[in-house]
A and B are shown apart, each in its own frame.
Chain A
């Protein structure tokens, strides 16, 4: 077993060696290095073929038409293009947008920017399990609502929103429905023939493809129009100019092809590993799972060890590559905005760890992780005045803390 152990697959994944192999074939002088837009020679034609093959593979994973896939530099760009592009194009119909407080910053900050440009945005609070109450979503819809953006799978807590049900709500009202699927593609079955989603963002590096590569699904029927955010040579039907990065695109295509083939077996394996990890903590006191366990991807466990601060725990777990919802890991003093949006107490948010399991995780690694976490949680609780108070039966809420 190699240390440190990587359990942060939601942050990014390594490139699958099969994907890297394909990418390398599109770079060097004897490889497929041409510009896919070159019409006058075979270098261009071959590159274009590889790009179109990749487009088919991406489309196949989510059951859409390859002509509905637009290449971008990642899910961040896809979210920007979808939200700004749709808002700007349809603003004569209305200026109201609905999203959720637990979205990725790529969605939230894009919406903030639109607010500065005169749009109005409703940020829905999810329920305590991280899921959106569809009745509350419906109640937030107004006559001037033009766009709803809701992520499929949350990056911190792994919960899966019911995008099919939301699509049934938006389509008859002619509201555009955007879904950030960066964390769900290749992990949850997506069928765009069934789900009435209009725009969907994808990222390659979350499923063993290269970083800096993504795609946006833009529905053809009914046709969704976007204002381009990147102007230039008119690539990707004018929606996203810039020379196509053949090797990156080929990498994303291969990653999506493998995901389609292996998703079902991988999910079973991840579930077993995740349950093993969870079982390893079952008999510990004051342990809380963040987010719904049923509507959740198999590879995610987000858990709070009460009375232990997350960053100090991460420091002790130096052989584990995991992340924490504690503020101290970032420059701000606020703990994870996602956990706070669930209504979690700040101290539980500060005490949270996120484990995300992936393609190269082994049972041995999980067992080692359990042992390390248990040992260090015990050690830090011995050091924690809050743990003493809990043991003495003192209610922490009864104390007047001086916020600082």
Chain B
């Protein structure tokens, strides 16, 4: 399969790879997907007291498109409020990376990951 240049670029130079302390109250963690399906995304966000995402990190097990989708997502959410980040749509990710139809599920997973991370953060705050 031929990959788009943007997918290749993110795959070769993934942004914001890493792990944050999941027990930190400012950190929200989302882990979505399943090993049996061939992709698992872990996305972590660090949120300041104004509700703005200061930092984001990811680790992904999956194909190149899944890695690229999560890498792109970490770039996009940084500096956004939780509300703004929660509105990111998978179609925007798919469009930006020029994902072919068989890879759309990678962008869906990325959208699920940010939603899960926001949920985790908000549950902790309560």
Which residues of B14-46 have CB atoms within 8 Å of chain A's CB atoms? 14, 17, 19, 31-42
Closest to B102 in A: A331
Q: Does B3 contact A (CB under 8 A)?
A: yes
Binds A, one of B58-66, B76-84, B89-97, B118-126: B58-66
Which has the most chain B C-beta neighbours within 10 Å: A312, A327, A386?
A: A312
**Contact assessment for A326 and B33 in the assembled complex, using a CB-CB cutoff below 8 Å:** no
The DSSP consensus for interface residues of chain B is mixed
Q: CA of A333 to CA of B19 in the docked complex: distance in angstroms?
A: 28
Which of A307, A350, A387, A402 is B32 in contact with, Cβ under 8 Å? A402
Interface size on A, residues (CB 8 A): 29
Q: Does A243 contact B (CB under 8 A)?
A: no
Closest to A381 in B: B61
Interface string of A196-224 (1 = CB under 8 A from B): 00000000000000000000000000000
Q: Does A309 contact B (CB under 8 A)?
A: yes
Q: How far is the CB of B24 from chain A (nearest CB, A)?
A: 17
Q: For residue A383, which residues in chain B have a CB less than 8 angstroms away from its CB?
A: 14, 17, 59-61, 67
Q: Does A166 contact B (CB under 8 A)?
A: no
Interface size on B, residues (CB 8 A): 31
Q: CA of A382 to CA of B39 in the docked complex: distance in angstroms?
A: 15
**Contact assessment for A312 and B67 in the assembled complex, using a CB-CB cutoff below 8 Å:** yes
Q: For residue A403, which residues in chain B have a CB less than 8 angstroms away from its CB?
A: 34, 36-37
Q: Does B99 contact A (CB under 8 A)?
A: no
Which of B3, B39, B105 is A309 in contact with, Cβ under 8 Å? B39
**Contact assessment for B40 and A386 in the assembled complex, using a CB-CB cutoff below 8 Å:** yes
Q: For residue B36, which residues in chain A have a CB less than 8 angstroms away from its CB?
A: 345-347, 350, 401, 403
Q: CA of A32 to CA of B61 in the docked complex: distance in angstroms?
A: 56
Closest to B8 in A: A315
Q: How far is the CB of B72 from chain A (nearest CB, A)?
A: 14
Q: For residue B109, which residues in chain A have a CB less than 8 angstroms away from its CB?
A: 404
Closest to B1 in A: A329
Q: CA of A311 to CA of B11 in the docked complex: distance in angstroms?
A: 12
Which residues of A346-388 have CB atoms within 8 Å of chain B's CB atoms? 346-347, 350, 382-388
Which of B32, B35, B37, B66 is A386 in contact with, Cβ under 8 Å? B35
Closest to A328 in B: B63
Q: For residue B34, which residues in chain A have a CB less than 8 angstroms away from its CB?
A: 401-404
Q: For residue A335, which residues in chain B have a CB less than 8 angstroms away from its CB?
A: 38
Q: CA of A372 to CA of B93 in the docked complex: distance in angstroms?
A: 30
**Contact assessment for B37 and A312 in the assembled complex, using a CB-CB cutoff below 8 Å:** no
Interface string of B104-119 (1 = CB under 8 A from A): 0100110010000000
Q: How far is the CB of A330 from chain B (nearest CB, A)?
A: 9
Q: CA of A308 to CA of B17 in the docked complex: distance in angstroms?
A: 16
Q: For residue A1, which residues in chain B have a CB less than 8 angstroms away from its CB?
A: none
Q: How far is the CB of B47 from chain A (nearest CB, A)?
A: 20
Which of A312, A327, A384 is B59 in contact with, Cβ under 8 Å? A384
Q: Does A396 contact B (CB under 8 A)?
A: yes
Q: For residue A396, which residues in chain B have a CB less than 8 angstroms away from its CB?
A: 35
Q: For residue A346, which residues in chain B have a CB less than 8 angstroms away from its CB?
A: 35-38
**Contact assessment for B31 and A309 in the assembled complex, using a CB-CB cutoff below 8 Å:** no
Q: Known: A382-B17, A383-B14. Is A311-B37 also a contact (CB below 8 A)?
A: no
Q: How far is the CB of A387 from chain B (nearest CB, A)?
A: 8
Interface string of A302-344 (1 = CB under 8 A from B): 0000011101100100000000001111010101000000000
Closest to A396 in B: B35
**Contact assessment for B11 and A312 in the assembled complex, using a CB-CB cutoff below 8 Å:** yes
**Contact assessment for B35 and A333 in the assembled complex, using a CB-CB cutoff below 8 Å:** no
Q: For residue B105, which residues in chain A have a CB less than 8 angstroms away from its CB?
A: 333, 404
Q: Give A contacts to B, CB under 8 Å.
A: 307-309, 311-312, 315, 326-329, 331, 333, 335, 345-347, 350, 382-388, 396, 401-404
CB-defined A-B contacts under 8 Å, sample of 12: A308-B61, A309-B62, A311-B38, A312-B11, A312-B66, A347-B35, A385-B61, A386-B40, A386-B61, A388-B19, A401-B36, A404-B108
